[in-house]
Structure 1
Amino acid sequence: MQRPIIVGKIKDFAWDAMKDKWGCGALIVFLSSLLTFIVPAIPAAFLEENSFPLLVCNLVTTITTTGILFGFYVCFLDNARQKPLSTATLFTAFRDMNYFLKVIATEFLQYIFIFLWSLLLIVPGIIKMYSYSMTELILADHPEYSPLQAITASKEMMYGHRMQLFYLQIAFSLWFLLTLVTFGIACLWVSPYYLTAKSKLYLEIKDRQEKKAGLDEIVPADPVK
């Protein structure tokens, strides 16, 4: 019988994993924010509102920032594996065009699925958000997966574990509140801490499922529902 996953221990692990890395973690958050929010706003300031060039610019920046955000998650997956933090990891999605397009398609499909489930009721949409929450980490570990395979693998992985992610978020609630009262400044340190903990939860679940199945990896079998 496997021991239960204890959220408190995951949180403690993440704290220890951030030791001597708070500065680098904050730098990664700052750079990702700069690249995804501030830089894309610059061309918009010089283009005519509702113009075709502005629409093209918005499309390009949206696609590019999606790739940056993917790398942002991968940074702290590396940290949970006790690998060095590196700002270069932010550009993981751009290592080749096929992988970049796969990342973009995966994120797009997630948004579509969550949106469609949310049309039924808000609760099904929230449940699906938790079900698909490990998609980026799975795709980082399995670049050979198609977008649907990565999303389905996350759904299968999180079946029976969604509440553990919810409890983890509850455990970080005061840290999230600190981010609000500091007008986002605390996010420079809270985001690395939380994403390292989330990544550790992913690794714990992944390890347990692999041991249970007697396999070296999680292979999705069913289509997304």
Structure 2
Amino acid sequence: MENEENQWDVELNRIRSMNNREIQEFAWNAMSGRWLYGALTLILFLAVIMGLSSPQFLMEEDSVLYNAWEVICTPFTWVLWIGLVACYLDLALKAKPSYARLFLGYRGIEYFLKIVITEVLQYIMLVLWFLLLIVPGIMKSYSYTMTELILVEHPEYTPLQAITASKEMMYGHRWEFFCLQARFWAWWLLCSFTFGIAALWVYPYYMTAKSKFYLKLKERAEAGA
């Protein structure tokens, strides 16, 4: 038992000290044998979104009905995206993948509304920050970037609690996360050369790396580091 606890402590210390290169390598290894799952999950997400927006093809663009339908669909898109975040967090946790996780946000009206309110609050806050200056707006967008991951792991949190937890977690780590994103720029460039097809694999890869970055910050926060 003591040996198991020591091994677990070593693993936690390793996670806390991982650099961006190691996080990217971890994500690549975590995707091993699950590339198809990552791509199919994204395809399923996009298919549901297209299904929701399909009535708009029968409407006149920019009409009142067209815009009204857009407003109606947006909350369902946000909630579905939370499920997509959960799917890739599972890959980072090396949990058993499940397509049912994509519909995590639809498990109850309370959680559904909590997700919607969280996204609305973030949008309002970012708009206000961007109205001040571009740079503060960008910095705040990085501060809020872990909100959805936190809400997946802590559905009991209120919208403000999730947003605040993300701000606290990202404090002092925004540049570090930007550098992690920079490591994927070449991959996103590849997507443009493949007419977006490569994104079916690049996006899950990136989101798994982002999830691992989140888990690293979470371990640091819990350790008081």
| Residue in structure 1 matched with residue 5 of structure 2 by the alignment | none
| Residue in structure 1 matched with residue 169 of structure 2 by the alignment | 157
Q: Tell me how far 1:51 sits from its aligned partner.
A: 4.9
Equivalent residue pairs, number: 211
d(CA) in 1 for partners of 2:128, 2:30: 37
The alignment-based identity, stated in percent, is: 51
Which 10-residue stretch deviates more, 185-194 or 39-48? 39-48
Q: Tell me how far 1:55 sits from its aligned partner.
A: 3.7
The answer to whether structure 1 residue 130 and structure 2 residue 130 are counterparts is: no
Q: Tell me how far 1:74 sits from its aligned partner.
A: 1.0
Is 2:90–2:97's contact at 8 Å kept on the other side of the alignment? Answer: yes
| Residue in structure 1 matched with residue 91 of structure 2 by the alignment | 79
| Residue in structure 2 matched with residue 47 of structure 1 by the alignment | 59
Q: Which residue identity is paired with 2:32?
A: K
The answer to whether structure 1 residue 205 and structure 2 residue 217 are counterparts is: yes
Q: Tell me how far 1:26 sits from its aligned partner.
A: 0.4
SS in 1 for 2:195: coil
Is 2:86–2:101's contact at 8 Å kept on the other side of the alignment? Answer: yes
Give deviations 1:132-167, integer Å, cap 9, x for gaps: 000001111111111011001000000011111101
SS in 1 for 2:215: helix
Is 2:45–2:102's contact at 8 Å kept on the other side of the alignment? Answer: yes
SS in 2 for 1:42: helix
Q: Tell me how far 1:52 sits from its aligned partner.
A: 4.7
Unaligned runs of 5+ in 2: 1-12
| Residue in structure 2 matched with residue 109 of structure 1 by the alignment | 121
Q: Which residue identity is paired with 1:191?
A: Y
Unaligned runs of 5+ in 1: 214-225
Q: Which residue identity is paired with 2:22?
A: K
| Bigger relative contact order (CA 8 A; separation at least 6) | 2
Q: Which residue identity is paired with 2:83?
A: G
Q: Which has the higher helix share?
A: 2
Is 1:48–1:54's contact at 8 Å kept on the other side of the alignment? Answer: yes
Q: After superposition, where does 1:175-186 map in structure 2 within 5 Å?
A: 175-186=187-198
Give deviations 1:29-53, integer Å, cap 9, x for gaps: 11112222x2233201223455554
| Residue in structure 2 matched with residue 216 of structure 1 by the alignment | none
Is 2:105–2:111's contact at 8 Å kept on the other side of the alignment? Answer: yes
- Select which of 87, 112, 119 maps to 2:131: 119
Q: Tell me how far 1:56 sits from its aligned partner.
A: 3.5
Is 2:24–2:209's contact at 8 Å kept on the other side of the alignment? Answer: yes
| Residue in structure 1 matched with residue 153 of structure 2 by the alignment | 141
The answer to whether structure 1 residue 60 and structure 2 residue 72 are counterparts is: yes
d(CA) in 1 for partners of 2:18, 2:131: 33
d(CA) in 1 for partners of 2:174, 2:61: 42
| Residue in structure 1 matched with residue 10 of structure 2 by the alignment | none
Is 2:53–2:73's contact at 8 Å kept on the other side of the alignment? Answer: no
d(CA) in 1 for partners of 2:110, 2:91: 26
d(CA) in 1 for partners of 2:136, 2:76: 29
d(CA) in 2 for partners of 1:14, 1:6: 12
Give deviations 1:38-86, integer Å, cap 9, x for gaps: 2233201223455554343222211111111111111111110001222
Q: Which residue identity is paired with 1:210?
A: E
d(CA) in 2 for partners of 1:205, 1:90: 24
| TM score, norm. by length of structure 1 | 0.89
